[in-house]
């Protein structure tokens, strides 16, 4: 009855941790406010992912498969989390779609600004490693042939290649352990890279 709580910014009340009649010390949080204005998405990235402030991001939402947004890396934590060993990254989303609500799960994808023009993405199951070489099986003239490739990084269950393949190459992604070099193969319908 003798205290009035005010917020220093406009926003939406996200949580109330205090109760009427509660006796508490000065500075104890009572209400969590989500400020109005530009929204952010917080993600955790492993140490091998190279990001920079200002890097562009593509955002999709698990619950909204047809909705996407664009974002920009706003902040990268300078220190890793002591438990997960990942770095917190904040991605600013200037125009968050109206369908997206606070607390939704989002997928954030980054286009590597330094990526080579000939970089391709293939399924990780297509990689074939023997004698320390990373290779893939290709179909050329209805025969299986090994081709050396250079891996640039990983994106989920896919692999980014920095060299070794060209657009239009036909890639074998299953049954790799049963193939021998120059073995005759028959093509079935599938996608080209």
Say whether both 43 and 101 belong to one domain.
yes
Say whether both 144 and 92 belong to one domain.
no
Task: Report the CATH number that the domain containing residue 96 is assigned in CATH.
Answer: 2.40.30.170
Nearest Cα neighbor of 135 from 165, 106, 155 is 165
Residue 116 pLDDT greater than 50, yes or no: no
Q: Is the dihedral of CA 68, 153, 56, 166 positive or negative?
A: negative
In this prediction, residue 119 carries a pLDDT of 66
Query: Would you state the structure tokens that stand for residue 58, as one six-digit string?
Result: 């593509």
Q: Are 111 and 121 in contact (CB under 8 A)?
A: no
Cα–Cα distances (Å) from 116 to 50, 58, 88, in that order, read 15, 19, 27
pTM score above 0.95: no
Residue 42 pLDDT greater than 80, yes or no: yes
Q: Collapsing DSSP states into helix, strand and coil, what is residue 177?
A: helix
In this prediction, residue 164 carries a pLDDT of 83
The total number of structural domains in the chain stands at 2
**Residue range of the domain that includes 177:** 120-184
| Residue 20 covered by a domain | no
**Among the three residues 110, 142, 164, which one is the final residue of a domain in this structure?**
110
């Amino acid at each position: 009855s003798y205290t009035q709580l005010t917020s220093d910014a406009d926003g939406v009340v996200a949580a109330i941790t205090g109760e009427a009649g509660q006796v508490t010390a000065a500075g104890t949080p009572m209400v969590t406010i989500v400020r109005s204005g530009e929204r952010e998405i917080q993600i955790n990235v492993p140490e091998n992912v190279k990001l920079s402030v200002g890097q562009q991001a593509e955002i999709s939402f698990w619950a909204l498969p047809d909705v996407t947004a664009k974002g920009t890396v706003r902040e990268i934590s300078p220190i890793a989390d002591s438990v997960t060993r990942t770095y917190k990254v904040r991605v600013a989303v200037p125009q968050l779609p109206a369908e997206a609500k606070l607390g939704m799960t989002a997928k954030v994808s980054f286009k590597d600004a330094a990526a080579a023009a000939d970089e391709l993405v293939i399924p990780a199951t297509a990689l074939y490693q023997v004698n320390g070489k990373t290779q893939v099986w290709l179909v050329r003239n209805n025969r299986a042939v090994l081709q050396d490739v250079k891996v640039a990084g990983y994106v989920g269950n896919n692999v980014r290649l920095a060299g070794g393949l060209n657009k239009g190459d036909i890639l074998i992604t299953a049954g790799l352990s049963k193939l021998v070099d120059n073995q005759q193969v028959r093509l079935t319908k599938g996608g080209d890279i």
